Amino acid sequence: MDIKENLNKIKATLPAGVRLVAVSKTHPIEMLQEAYDAGQRLFGENKVQEMTAKSQVLPKDIEWHFIGHVQSNKIKMMAPYVSVIQGIDTFDKLVEIDRQAARFNRHITCLLQLHIASEETKFGFSANECTAMLDEGKWKDLQNITIGGVMGMATNTDNEVQVESEFASLSDFFREMKETYFKDKPYFKEISMGMSDDYPIAVKNGSTLVRVGSKIFGERVY
């Protein structure tokens, strides 16, 4: 498994303005270090304890993205170092992240997760729930977080037409949100969508962050 070669291959397929989050969950620190040495700086983890342990031994200029389902009681553990929390699906979680970020005198970027897949098991706001939260406006009072964009996961299917339609719906919703709530806010810019199997479709539909694991590190180590 040549991690450097894998990274270079993927990056060669990404247009300017699209960043790669290396999904390193379950992989050992040595593999992350190898990716770091090859120039990778964005890493994604889905378990807070594992991400925290890795953050304590790996270089401090890594931009850690939490990409798992956010549990409110775990936020305080990652607040001292996490750069981006990608899966926000309730206003209460934004409030708690803001509170914990303030404790550590930090500012954390949050992405709102939209439920775009047909599977009920995926998390996220519906478009209506998200709009209602933004309309209410309480998020504007949160001083230690920034809503930096949206995140979504397509249905796990071989039907590329369906996947494309789901990604396109997230892009459309991002543009509506930008126009309505974040028009003059340059920080609202990220559309995080696309993983190892479907990121080329996501990029075609406007993704700015792709989350790729197995194509870099191989299959997960359990």
The percent of residues in the chain predicted with pLDDT above 70, rounded, is 98
Which tokens belong to 173? 């919703």
Q: Identify whether 110 is part of a domain.
A: yes
User: Comparing 221 with 89, which gets the higher pLDDT?
Assistant: 89
> Does some domain include residue 181?
yes
- pTM for this one? 0.95
Give me the number of domains the chain comprises: 1
SS3 at position 69:
coil
222 assigned to some structural domain = no
**CA 193 distance to own-chain centroid:** 8
Q: How far apart are CA 109 and CA 180, in angstroms?
A: 20
Q: How far is it, in rounded angstroms, from Cα 7 to Cα 183?
A: 34
CATH (domain of 113): 3.20.20.10
19 forms bridges with which residues in the sheet? 209
Domain contains 15: yes
Mean pLDDT of the 171-197 span: 96
Domain membership of residue 62 as a residue range: 3-217
Q: Are the C-beta atoms of residues 113 and 124 closer than 8 Å to each other?
A: yes
- Please write the tens of the pLDDT for every residue from 125-174: 999 999 999 999 999 999 999 999 999 999 999 999 999 999 999 999 99
Phi, psi of 42, rounded to the nearest 5 degrees = -100, 120
